[in-house]
Structure 1
Amino acid sequence: MSSRSRTPSERSPLLTSAAALQSYDAPESDSPPIPQSPDEFTPRDKTSKADLAWVLAGLWSAVFLGALDGTIVATLLAPIGSYFHESNRSSYIGTSYLLSVCCFTPLYGRLSDILGRKGAMLLALSLFGFGTLLCGLAPSMDALIAARAIAGMGGGGVMTVSSVAVTDLIPLRQRGLYQGMTNILFGLGAGLGGPLGGWLNDSFGWRSAFLLQMPILLFSFILVTAKVNIKLPAEIESQPIRAKLQRIDGFGSLTLVLTVGSLLLGLSLKSTEELPWSHPVIWGLLASSAVWCALFVMVESRWAMYPVMPLRLVKQRTPLAVSLSNFFGSVAAFSMLYNVPLYFSAVRMNSSTGAGLHLLPHSVAISTGSVFAGWVMRRTGRLYTLTLVSCAMTVVAASMVAAWDDDTAAWHLWLDIVPQGLGMASVITTTLIAMIASVVKEDLAVATGITYLFRTTGQVLGVSLSGALLQAVLTSKLRERITGPDAFKIIESIRHSTNVIPELSPELQRAAVHSYADALRVVFICQAVCNFLCLLCCLPIQENPLPGSHEEQEAHYRKRQNSQSSCASDETLA
Structure 2
Amino acid sequence: MVFRAESSPSETQPLLQPEPINAPQELTSPVNKYSTADICWILTGIWSGVFLGAVDGTIVATLLAPIGGSFNKFNQSSYIGTSYLLSVCCFTPLYGRLSDILGRKGALLVALTLFGSGTILCGLASSMEMLIAARAIAGMGGGGMMTVASITVTDLIPLKDRGLYQGLANILFGLGAGIGGPLGGWINDSFGWRAAFLLQTPILIFSFILVALKVNIELPFEVQNQSLYDKLRRIDFFGSLTLVGTVGCLLLGFSLKTTEELSWSNPLIWGLFVTSGVSGVLFILVETRWAPYPVMPLHLIRQRTPLAVSLSNFICSISAYSTLYNVPLYFTAVRLTSSSNAGLHLLPHSIALSVGSVFAGWMMRRTGKLYALTVASALLTVIASVLIILWNENSSPIHLWGDIVPQGFGMASMITTTLIAMIASVTKEDMAVATGITYLFRTTGQVLGVSLSGAILQAVLIKTLQERIRGPGSAEVIDRIRHSTDVIHTLNPRLQQAAVDSYADALRVIFIFQAACNVLSLLACLPIQEHDLPGTHEEQHKQIRGRNNQNRGAERS
Matched, 1:203 2:186: no
The correspondence of residues 110-149 of structure 1 with structure 2, limited to 5 A, is: 110-149=97-136
Deviation, 1:14, is: 8.6
Distance in 2 of aligned mates of 1:519 and 1:13 = 60
Choose the corresponding residue for 1:463, options 447, 450, 466: 450
The correspondence of residues 366-377 of structure 1 with structure 2, limited to 5 A, is: 366-377=353-364
Q: Secondary structure at the match of 1:46?
A: strand
Q: Secondary structure at the match of 1:407?
A: coil
The correspondence of residues 138-537 of structure 1 with structure 2, limited to 5 A, is: 138-537=125-524
Question: Aligned letter for 1:10?
Answer: Q
Compared CA separation, residues 168 and 9, structure 1 to 2 (3 A): farther
TM-score (norm: length of structure 2) = 0.95
Deviation, 1:8, is: 10
Distance in 1 of aligned mates of 2:290 and 2:24 = 27
Partner in structure 1 of residue 25 of structure 2: 10
Choose the corresponding residue for 1:564, options 546, 551, 557: 551
Distance in 1 of aligned mates of 2:152 and 2:240 = 22
Distance in 1 of aligned mates of 2:181 and 2:279 = 37
Residues 66-105 of structure 1: CA deviation (Å, up to 9, x unaligned): 0110000000000000000000101011000000000000
Q: Is 2:29–2:220's contact at 8 Å kept on the other side of the alignment?
A: no
Please provide the CA RMSD for this pair.
1.2
RCO comparison, higher one (Cα < 8 Å, 6+): 1
Residues 440-492 of structure 1: CA deviation (Å, up to 9, x unaligned): 00000000000000000000000000001001001100000001111011111
Q: Secondary structure at the match of 2:141?
A: helix
Question: Aligned letter for 2:165?
Answer: Y
Distance in 2 of aligned mates of 1:153 and 1:393 = 34
**Structure 2: runs of 5+ lacking an equivalent:** 1-21
Distance in 1 of aligned mates of 2:29 and 2:164 = 30
Residues 160-218 of structure 1: CA deviation (Å, up to 9, x unaligned): 00000000000000000000000000000000110000000000000000000010000
Q: Report the more deviating stretch, 242-251 or 440-449.
A: 242-251
Choose the corresponding residue for 1:57, options 44, 47, 51: 44
Partner in structure 1 of residue 4 of structure 2: none
Distance in 1 of aligned mates of 2:23 and 2:533 = 20
Distance in 1 of aligned mates of 2:373 and 2:26 = 34
Compared CA separation, residues 381 and 206, structure 1 to 2 (3 A): same
Compared CA separation, residues 241 and 14, structure 1 to 2 (3 A): closer
Compared CA separation, residues 506 and 568, structure 1 to 2 (3 A): same
Q: Is 2:28–2:221's contact at 8 Å kept on the other side of the alignment?
A: no
Distance in 2 of aligned mates of 1:233 and 1:474 = 58
Compared CA separation, residues 377 and 504, structure 1 to 2 (3 A): same
Q: Is 1:127–1:154's contact at 8 Å kept on the other side of the alignment?
A: yes
Q: Is 1:102–1:456's contact at 8 Å kept on the other side of the alignment?
A: yes
Residues 230-266 of structure 1: CA deviation (Å, up to 9, x unaligned): 1112221111222111100000000000110000000
Compared CA separation, residues 136 and 339, structure 1 to 2 (3 A): same
Q: Is 1:104–1:257's contact at 8 Å kept on the other side of the alignment?
A: yes
Question: Aligned letter for 1:332?
Answer: S
Residues 539-563 of structure 1: CA deviation (Å, up to 9, x unaligned): 0000011000010011111111111
Question: Aligned letter for 1:449?
Answer: G
Residues 265-291 of structure 1: CA deviation (Å, up to 9, x unaligned): 000000000000000000000011000
Q: Secondary structure at the match of 1:47?
A: strand
After the TM superposition, which parts of structure 1 deviate over 4 Å for at least 4 consecutive aligned residues? 12-15
Q: Is 1:129–1:151's contact at 8 Å kept on the other side of the alignment?
A: yes
Q: Secondary structure at the match of 2:34?
A: coil
Q: Is 1:9–1:562's contact at 8 Å kept on the other side of the alignment?
A: no
Q: Secondary structure at the match of 2:216?
A: coil
Residues 94-121 of structure 1: CA deviation (Å, up to 9, x unaligned): 0000000000000000000000000000
Q: Secondary structure at the match of 2:33?
A: coil
> What's the % identity of the aligned pairs?
69
Q: Is 2:27–2:222's contact at 8 Å kept on the other side of the alignment?
A: no
Distance in 1 of aligned mates of 2:403 and 2:251 = 31
**Structure 1: runs of 5+ lacking an equivalent:** 1-6, 16-43
Deviation, 1:13, is: 6.6
TM-score (norm: length of structure 1) = 0.92
Question: Aligned letter for 2:26?
Answer: R
Choose the corresponding residue for 1:46, options 22, 33, 49: 33
Residues 356-403 of structure 1: CA deviation (Å, up to 9, x unaligned): 000000000000000000000000000000000000000000010011
Partner in structure 2 of residue 70 of structure 1: 57
Question: Aligned letter for 1:405?
Answer: N
Distance in 2 of aligned mates of 1:140 and 1:423 = 42
Deviation, 1:45, is: 5.7
Question: Aligned letter for 2:92?
Answer: T
Partner in structure 2 of residue 25 of structure 1: none
Q: Is 1:12–1:558's contact at 8 Å kept on the other side of the alignment?
A: no
Q: Secondary structure at the match of 1:308?
A: coil
Q: Is 1:105–1:452's contact at 8 Å kept on the other side of the alignment?
A: yes
Compared CA separation, residues 504 and 79, structure 1 to 2 (3 A): same
Deviation, 1:340, is: 0.2
Q: Is 2:371–2:530's contact at 8 Å kept on the other side of the alignment?
A: yes
Q: Is 2:29–2:219's contact at 8 Å kept on the other side of the alignment?
A: no
Compared CA separation, residues 8 and 561, structure 1 to 2 (3 A): farther
Distance in 2 of aligned mates of 1:73 and 1:366 = 21
Distance in 2 of aligned mates of 1:321 and 1:422 = 20
